[in-house]
Amino acid sequence: MRAFFRLFYLDTSDPELMRAQFSSFQGHIPLLYVILVCNTVAITVTSFNAAALVKTLLAPIAISSIAMSRAIWWLRQGDTQKFSDAELARHLWRTCLLAVIMTLTFNAWVIWVYQDAGAYARSNLTFFLALSQVSTVFCLMTLRAAAMRVSVVSTIAFALYFSWVEGGQLLPQSLVLCCVCIGMAVVTHSFNRSFSEVVQSRRTLHIRQLQTEKLSEENRRIAFSDPLSGLPNRRELLARLDRLEQRQGLLANSLAIVFIDLDGFKTVNDEHGHHAGDELIRTVCQRLREQCPDNAILARVGGDEFTVLLETDGNTENAQASALTLGLRLLEQMALPVLVDRHVLQISGSIGIASNTDSDVNPRELLRRADLAMYHAKTEGKGQVAIYSDELDKGRLRRIEIEGQIGSGLGSNEFDLVYQPIIDAASGAIVAAEALLRWPRRAEGALSPDEFIHVAEATGQIHPLGLYVLERACRDIEPIGGLCLSVNVSPAQFRHPGFEQQVLKIIEQTGFVPERLQLEMTESYLLTNPGMAIKAMNTLKAAGISLALDDFGTGFTSIHYLKSYGFTHIKIDKSLLQGLEPDSKATMLVAGAVTLARALDMSVIAEGVEHEAQASILRDLGCHEMQGYLFGKPVPLAEFKSMLNCAGKRPQQPQSLRIAR
């Protein structure tokens, strides 16, 4: 019973269904009214009676006018989106009500006309009445409540009246109409169910589509941004560069890329853990972001690599000049200390800049150029800005060439060692030899270590090369009893895990006394890897090896700071000796270094001594040892041995010499 009454109930709880119903029958209702008007006109024509003008003319005019005005109203409604849900519900209620009122009015009018009509007109009337009823129900099919109400109201009115008039002669027609009515109710019901299902599945589809869109948007966001910093990642940067390439009329000097690489980030990760590394990246990102102008796009393109894409108009503002100003500002920011996990970390950044100096340069090519310039800034001492030039590319090609040759050169014994004497400043006796690498049998021509050592450092080939030098030098010098050996060690070798153990193994294998060995290293390694440096140096020192700081005077480190690392010697760089004249600035500098080193119980070696005048000043200043062309150039082992013999200064008391160092 409840289900039966539900058929007549107008459900406005689902706004989407309501909207779908409204738009569906919006197009049918004007048709319904047109059919009603046609039927009214047909009835008027067949039953017109001049004596009953109200009934046969005025009444149908009134019905038709109302029907036409409603049809026009419906035609003018257009899009349902302009109605709120409440307005829509009101319109549906009104439609249901009007459908019943119009049906009853039409039925009442037909019955009224029927009473005075002739036999022919009566059959016409029943036909048009039934026709109106059926067409009304079909037109209202999507609005079940209205369709059901109309069909019940009109069927009851029709059946009651026509089973009563004319002595029940029309009873069969009434019964047929009742059957038609039931049939239409069943069809309306099932049509409505399907209609609701379609609306429901459309809604599900729409929700799924929204979810898919949201998901793909999320995927896009993840794919194109860096989760740690939230900045665009490398893929996003490349996509932007590709879009720039597509753009027509990109002016020269309107595009620049600033490529930033943090110096010492790996050490922070190694020594303080990845959590600290992440924290550091976040802080750096924040600082970089604050410095970037609004038109710049900052991206994180690698673990510790960032880029800034700068676009200017190319006329009033030159992209390269803007990039340089920005790059210098970014350097300052990166050099500020960072507090991570209660540790104050000091890092720096190396920056490379490339700009489209002519409009033909591909934006992706700019990225490569900026990267190359950054690499140059890094190898030239870090913490600086370098601007791309064609020369850098040539240098890169040369490096690639050398890189390939080092490996094969080691395999085919192309390298050699030469030895340069180091003399005791007071006695003039040769106390040690510095082993220096040479590449005389290189197929393409000999190369100086200044040219190939930094390539080997950058590619990691310095490890096999460095171990080769150490082993060869230990074997060469070991038989020269008492003579100390100095071997250069590149910072890159210290970074190699297990380096100390490899050194100790070579000493053991060659039978070299560790106390005769000195390793020379530059300070750059200490600054970037303080923790690891101390560990490695302690192991080597514990084995009896002494450590000398090479190239002193070219960096910024204070002697006091170096003492804390356990250096036993400092080696004053030859560049400092150039201006070594009485009372010169250089002399004062060397004097200060010697005084401080002596106070800290460190020995001072001066390298690059070419003139007797320099040697005499150095002796007066209290320098312990000297090395330079004045005493002997680097020479092959055989020559070095005869140099020792000729000079007759071969040390006779190895132990005391050792102590003297």
When the beta carbons of 450 and 612 are compared against ligand C2E, the nearer one is 450
Residue 107 CA to residue 105 CA, distance in Å, equals 5
Residue 447 CA to residue 282 CA, distance in Å, equals 44
Residue 574 as a binder of ligand C2E (CB under 6 A): the answer is yes
Task: Name the one range near ligand C2E by CB under 6 A: 280-288, 299-307, 526-534, 623-631.
Answer: 623-631
Q: How far is the CB of 522 from ligand C2E (least distance, A)?
A: 7
Give the interface size with Ca ion as a residue count (CB under 5 A): 5
CB 177 within 8 A of CB 130: yes
Residue 520 as a binder of Ca ion (CB under 5 A): the answer is yes
Interface characters, 100-139, with ligand C2E (x: CB under 6 A): ----------------------------------------
When the beta carbons of 255 and 477 are compared against Ca ion, the nearer one is 477
Question: Which DSSP string do the residues of 566-587 spell out, in sequence order?
Answer: T--EEEE-HHHHTT--TT-HHH
Kindly report the three-state secondary structure assignment for every residue of 493-541. Answer: HHCCCCHHHHHHHHHHHHCCCHHHEEEEECCHHHHHCHHHHHHHHHHHH
Task: Name the one range near ligand C2E by CB under 6 A: 126-134, 225-233, 559-567, 602-610.
Answer: 602-610
Residue 421 as a binder of ligand C2E (CB under 6 A): the answer is no
Give the Cα-Cα-Cα angle 294, 295, 296 (nearest 5 degrees). 90
Instruction: Specify the 3-state DSSP secondary structure of 238.
Output: helix
Q: How far is the CB of 574 from ligand C2E (least distance, A)?
A: 5
Residue 549 as a binder of ligand C2E (CB under 6 A): the answer is no
Task: Name the one range near Ca ion by CB under 5 A: 59-67, 297-305, 482-490, 619-627.
Answer: 482-490
Residue 477 CA to residue 486 CA, distance in Å, equals 10
- Partner in contact with 495, chosen from ligand C2E, Ca ion, none, beta carbon below 5 to 8 Å by kind: none
Interface characters, 237-256, with ligand C2E (x: CB under 6 A): --------------------
What part of residues 524-553 is at the interface with Ca ion (CB under 5 A)? 550-551
Instruction: Specify the 3-state DSSP secondary structure of 297.
Output: strand
Residue 625 CA to residue 485 CA, distance in Å, equals 14
Residue 476 as a binder of Ca ion (CB under 5 A): the answer is no
Question: In this chain, which of 279, 414, 550, 625 binds ligand C2E, going by CB under 6 A?
Answer: 550
Residue 474 as a binder of ligand C2E (CB under 6 A): the answer is no
DSSP letter (8 states) at residue 52: G
- Partner in contact with 628, chosen from Ca ion, ligand C2E, none, beta carbon below 5 to 8 Å by kind: ligand C2E
What part of residues 545-604 is at the interface with Ca ion (CB under 5 A)? 550-551, 573
CA 276 from centroid of its chain's CA atoms: 20
Q: Outline where DSSP puts E strands in 31-142.
A: none
From the CB of residue 515, how many other CB atoms can be counted at a distance below 10 Å? 16
Residue 36 as a binder of ligand C2E (CB under 6 A): the answer is no
Write out the two tokens for 23: 């738009």
Residue 608 as a binder of ligand C2E (CB under 6 A): the answer is yes
Signed CA dihedral, 65, 70, 71, 77: sign only = positive
Residue 477 CA to residue 489 CA, distance in Å, equals 17
Task: Name the one range near ligand C2E by CB under 6 A: 202-210, 286-294, 322-330, 603-611.
Answer: 603-611
Say which amino acid occupies 154: S
Residue 488 as a binder of Ca ion (CB under 5 A): the answer is yes
Question: Which residues, 6 or more positions from 100, have their beta carbon under 8 angstroms from its beta carbon?
Answer: 146, 149, 150, 153
Write out the two tokens for 633: 């150039």
Backbone angles phi, psi at 539, to 5 degrees: -65, -45
Give the Cα-Cα-Cα angle 112, 113, 119 (nearest 5 degrees). 125
CA distance between the termini of the chain: 115
- Partner in contact with 164, chosen from ligand C2E, Ca ion, none, beta carbon below 5 to 8 Å by kind: none
Question: In this chain, which of 188, 312, 318, 490 binds ligand C2E, going by CB under 6 A?
Answer: 490
Residue 628 as a binder of ligand C2E (CB under 6 A): the answer is yes
When the beta carbons of 469 and 547 are compared against ligand C2E, the nearer one is 469
Q: Which of 144, 188, 154, 148 is nearest to 174 (CA)?
A: 154
Q: Which of 534, 533, 456, 538 is nearest to 504 (CA)?
A: 538
What part of residues 436-455 is at the interface with ligand C2E (CB under 6 A)? 436-437, 448-450, 453
Interface characters, 326-365, with ligand C2E (x: CB under 6 A): ----------------------------------------
- Partner in contact with 437, chosen from Ca ion, ligand C2E, none, beta carbon below 5 to 8 Å by kind: ligand C2E
Q: How far is the CB of 577 from ligand C2E (least distance, A)?
A: 8
Residue 420 as a binder of ligand C2E (CB under 6 A): the answer is yes
Residue 179 CA to residue 183 CA, distance in Å, equals 6
Q: How far is the CB of 574 from Ca ion (least distance, A)?
A: 6
Q: How far is the CB of 495 from ligand C2E (least distance, A)?
A: 13
Task: Name the one range near ligand C2E by CB under 6 A: 209-217, 235-243, 301-309, 482-490.
Answer: 482-490
CA dist list (Å): 289 to 278, 284, 362, 590? 16, 8, 26, 44
CB 618 within 8 A of CB 590: yes
Residue 141 as a binder of ligand C2E (CB under 6 A): the answer is no
Write out the two tokens for 451: 């040219």
Question: Which DSSP string do the residues of 328-378 spell out, in sequence order?
Answer: HHHHHHHHS-EEETTEEE--EEEEEEEE-SSTTS-HHHHHHHHHHHHHHHH
Q: How far is the CB of 450 from ligand C2E (least distance, A)?
A: 5
Residue 457 as a binder of Ca ion (CB under 5 A): the answer is no
Q: Which of 410, 465, 486 is nearest to 640 (CA)?
A: 486
Residue 232 CA to residue 225 CA, distance in Å, equals 4
When the beta carbons of 261 and 551 are compared against Ca ion, the nearer one is 551
Q: How far is the CB of 556 from Ca ion (least distance, A)?
A: 16
Q: How far is the CB of 417 from ligand C2E (least distance, A)?
A: 7
Interface characters, 165-194, with ligand C2E (x: CB under 6 A): ------------------------------
Q: How far is the CB of 496 from ligand C2E (least distance, A)?
A: 12
- Partner in contact with 623, chosen from Ca ion, ligand C2E, none, beta carbon below 5 to 8 Å by kind: none
Contact residues toward ligand C2E (CB under 6 A) are 420, 436-437, 448-450, 453, 466, 469, 488-490, 520, 550-551, 574, 607-610, 627-629, 634
Contact residues toward Ca ion (CB under 5 A) are 488, 520, 550-551, 573
